[in-house]
Structure 1
């Protein structure tokens, strides 16, 4: 390289310790250009050949902007084959499948039919009679239970006189006719139950001495202490709340007085029916007096009460022909008259003590009425 001079076209190269000198000749330049032109031409021919081969090998490739358009006259068997394979795939409810899957076959045991042949001729007559009797008793018992729980009874049946089991009837009975006994239904305020009459009577006397009302209702096994009453549960609760405020424990329950006897004549029927109507009217007004101080009393209400009271007074001789029934009828009439007079005193004085006297007469009349109708 140090031997290169200006305009000297020789090149000196040291290779493996040996120096070689090359000179650029004009003819070499021409030869070089010819060789270069030949290589360029060969390269262009090879490129053209490759493009031609690629074009021949992939004639079906389309450009990105070209869309495949299927001819309506050409049927694509491959696509048909794929659709058919889809239809043969497991069934799903996609709306395309032509058939649903079959359930697997399960071997089921055949059920043996149970045949029951009843030969009545082979049965003894005693056994047949027992079966028929059991059916009749079962049906009768079913009707009896239906009647008890639904309250559907015929006109001749009446509730029991037991104060614990007797059903309540707060509706005002219709006008009694010969042969019918009106039911007196109230809601009582019970202050206790005793096994002995003496113990119950002592408790009743203490309650009455404190200015309240009390009476005893005797049954076969118990003696019940009644200390107030109303036509329904709401009215009885008014009386019960007064006792609660004074430290007396109470229990509210329905109480219906009825009997299975018959009334001999229309006079007795009118006496009992008018007495029940008067009893219920006085009970209603007495409880209203406790709850509202008598502010709900109207002239029309008091006038109707007086009319029933006057009618009841002239019916007192309906049981005069019977020595047992007449004293009980007179006691029942006296109890209602005393209740009416005490209510009139309350209207004048507005004293709660008069209302407790009304309650006392009503409790006495309740037990007396029960004694009277049980003799019919």
Structure 2
């Protein structure tokens, strides 16, 4: 029996199972860090070198393992983005206004967004202290915050912000080693192109360099569906998007356009993954079907190619709109 666990944290993070008879119910303990809305995403890392993982969300990080002590690494407010502002005012039934910390989200009437969509952690300057990379509202910039080290993590000292890249498009950008150099890049869309942004590792305060892998298209800040993984098993990471995958060439010298393989994986989902779900040695594709609708599937990579030599995929539903479409009788959207 092959089992693969499904973990969801905000957006899709890993995947589910292909078991037939036996399955387990897993429970989780919920720990609420804040009753305010500061960000769409969060991440973790050992920021204070105590050997325990901490959590970062919005302008704050919380010390593990109990996550009760909060530190402010960036100015919480006032803040403003294309999605909303912090703090915000809420009109009460008696006609008075209440000022509420953080962004509006579901706490108000307009369901506005934050200016902080994704958080990643990495020791950029190799000083031994984990830094924070924040990707803001779609179409806005990405910045990394430099961990001040031992003394700074004991206080609310604001970390130095380094603006990395001006325009990060797509609602599912990620930060990972795409090129195989053992260093991560921002994988995203920008100005109508699919591609990735790389830092100058010898000058980390400089703006990052953009590398387009596609011709110019209609991709924009609110485009849904993006991921990466080795689809064809050649040892190189490819880029996944809603309408197919882009094959990484043997050499990246001169920023060549990658080969496009068209396939309708989804109507515009969220994060996408290449993973060998059924253990047959071929990476399959995991994706939600609609970012603001229902559907979580894995596309089985078939052994047989089509008449033109293209990889073929067969869809398997993990979860869909109706509870009876999965053994756990669950359904939820916004994947």
- TM-score normalised by the chain length of structure 1: 0.19
Which structure has the highest strand share of the two? Answer: 2
Structure number with greater Rg is: 1
Q: Which has the higher contact order (CA 8 A, sep 6+)?
A: 1
Higher helix share: 1
